[in-house]
Homo-oligomer: A and B are copies of this chain.
Amino acid sequence: MLNPCDAAFIADLAARLPEGTLRPPEPRDLTEPRGRWPGRAGVVARPAGTDQVAQIVRACAAARVGIVPRGGGTGLVGGQVMPEGPLPLVLSLDRMTGLRGLWPEENVIAVEAGLTLAAVQQAAADAGRLFPLSLASEGTATIGGNLATNAGGTAVLRYGTTRDLCLGVEAVLADGSVVHGLKRLRKDNTGYDLRHLLIGSEGSLGILTAATLRLFPQPAATVVALLAVPSPAVAQRLLALCEARLSGLVTAFELIARTGFDFLAETGSGLRAPFDPAPDWCVLLELGLPAALDPQVSMAALYDEASETGLVLDGVIATSQAQAAALWALREAIPEANRRIGSISSHDISLPLGAIPGFLAEAGARIAALGPLRLNCFGHLGDGNLHYNVFPAKGRRREDDEALAGPVKRLVHDLVQAAGGSISAEHGIGRFKAADLERYADPARLAAMRALKAALDPAGILNPGAVLRG
């Protein structure tokens, strides 16, 4: 159905675009972080503006050439690489890095898709504001990619996912038409919410070229603590206590398993838990407080109440920015340690909060029955979002237990499904999970998704094979 992005197409397109807009693919255009799936491209297009994006999409539509949009390339589900099918055009947004506008008094910023998340955060900070989206790859990931995947991260509990932070989008649809939707409005009930349909569609329904985003006042003070807790179930009661005492002011509530600290030691990270021995479970808690609340007093009051009721066993409260950064460094180093150890199967799941203890007990027992495997379960407990990763026993390599990858994934996802959870909480579907989506999605919803894809991209040129397989 699609045609390859061949020399004739490229020559024809090049003649219509400013010189330098197209170039041959380089390795950096074709990779994904796990290094498992090879990307391919006939050419890389680097439009300098939305009009050029539209021109490229129109040409691809006319020739039925597939388009793989590319931001920072940090996505974890292969949405940015197309290993199969007719050779696509890779559409890089890396030249679209304009700041379209900044209205500090409105708490709004308008940015182009190719800006890195860190650059958006910095632009907000320079204006005395906070753009709260925060995730490990923020120095490389682009805001366009964050929007396309509805990225999560560590501040969702307080500020929401990327979609919650977006007021409007500018996008190029599959026919090359441009949706001019950079509204700076908190409320707009004029028909179907195309913004929310495009956000999280991973480039398969339209190309996001710019967005208006919500900013927030910076909290007067933040305070961070690392708290040892008896179990994830008790950690959830601790969260309920935090929310009861400081509703709306809890920024992050991250779970860390002892395995995380073990992996930091095993991989020579130089980082270690501030407890010896490391507890089975810790929570990294961050509060963002108004000036009227003293951060140390507020955190100490929470700590005391939690200690007295047995919700916390031990704890460290950071008393400086440096200490706070050091506690966060522990949390943020875990994904890299995981990568070095090499997981058999990793899972980005979410569960109803009440289902988490039962899931952990059941999944842990079933995985133990498969062999002497190691679990590293960590992540955004406040959102019910766990990164539940399974590793070989110490001394063994991923390759040694490769045969268990399928059974482990199936077991985890089946339990998640049975508990009313999600097999992709924050990473998306991309190509790695497209078959899983077919297995687990509600049939009526899946049929509706196919109808929406056919309606907005009838030739199937937008990120072919991502989210939905052909």
A346 touches B (CB below 8 Å): no
Interface residue from B293, B385, B428, B429 paired with A292 (Cβ < 8 Å): B293
Q: How far is the CB of A221 from chain B (nearest CB, A)?
A: 12
Complex Cα distance, B241 from A300, in Å, reads 28
Interface residues of A in 313-340 (CB under 8 A from B): none
Q: How far is the CB of A299 from chain B (nearest CB, A)?
A: 11
Convert A65-108 into 0s and 1s, putting 1 for each residue whose CB lies closer than 8 angstroms to a CB of B: 00000000000000000000000000000000000000101111
Query: Which residues of chain B are within 8 angstroms of A205 by Cβ–Cβ distance?
Result: 192
Q: How far is the CB of A1 from chain B (nearest CB, A)?
A: 19
Convert A421-456 into 0s and 1s, putting 1 for each residue whose CB lies closer than 8 angstroms to a CB of B: 111111111000100010011111111110111111
For A352, the closest partner residue in chain B by CB is B184
Q: How far is the CB of A198 from chain B (nearest CB, A)?
A: 9
A32 touches B (CB below 8 Å): no
Complex Cα distance, B293 from A352, in Å, reads 31
Complex Cα distance, B246 from A470, in Å, reads 50
A376 touches B (CB below 8 Å): no
Complex Cα distance, B290 from A468, in Å, reads 45
For A246, the closest partner residue in chain B by CB is B290
For A106, the closest partner residue in chain B by CB is B353
Query: Which residues of chain B are within 8 angstroms of A449 by Cβ–Cβ distance?
Result: 191-192, 194
Q: How far is the CB of A351 from chain B (nearest CB, A)?
A: 7
Q: Classify chain A: how many residues form its interface, as a range.
A: 35 or more
Q: How far is the CB of A470 from chain B (nearest CB, A)?
A: 15
Q: How far is the CB of A450 from chain B (nearest CB, A)?
A: 9
> Could you say which of A150, A249, A293, A445 has the most chain B C-beta atoms within 10 Å of its C-beta?
A445
Let me know if A249 and B290 touch, CB within 8 A.
yes
Interface residue from B106, B160, B201 paired with A352 (Cβ < 8 Å): B106
A161 touches B (CB below 8 Å): yes
Let me know if B422 and A189 touch, CB within 8 A.
yes
Convert A294-310 into 0s and 1s, putting 1 for each residue whose CB lies closer than 8 angstroms to a CB of B: 00001001000000000
A213 touches B (CB below 8 Å): no
Let me know if A187 and B385 touch, CB within 8 A.
yes
Let me know if A425 and B191 touch, CB within 8 A.
no
Q: How far is the CB of A366 from chain B (nearest CB, A)?
A: 22
Of the 9-residue stretches A115-123, A171-179, A224-232, A388-396, which lies at the interface with chain B?
Answer: A171-179
Q: How far is the CB of A260 from chain B (nearest CB, A)?
A: 20
Interface residue from B192, B247, B383 paired with A186 (Cβ < 8 Å): B383
Let me know if A183 and B451 touch, CB within 8 A.
no
Listed by A's residue number, 15 A-B pairs whose Cβ atoms lie within 8 Å are A103-B353, A152-B189, A185-B421, A185-B425, A189-B428, A190-B441, A191-B200, A191-B449, A192-B449, A219-B247, A290-B293, A292-B293, A448-B456, A451-B455, A452-B452
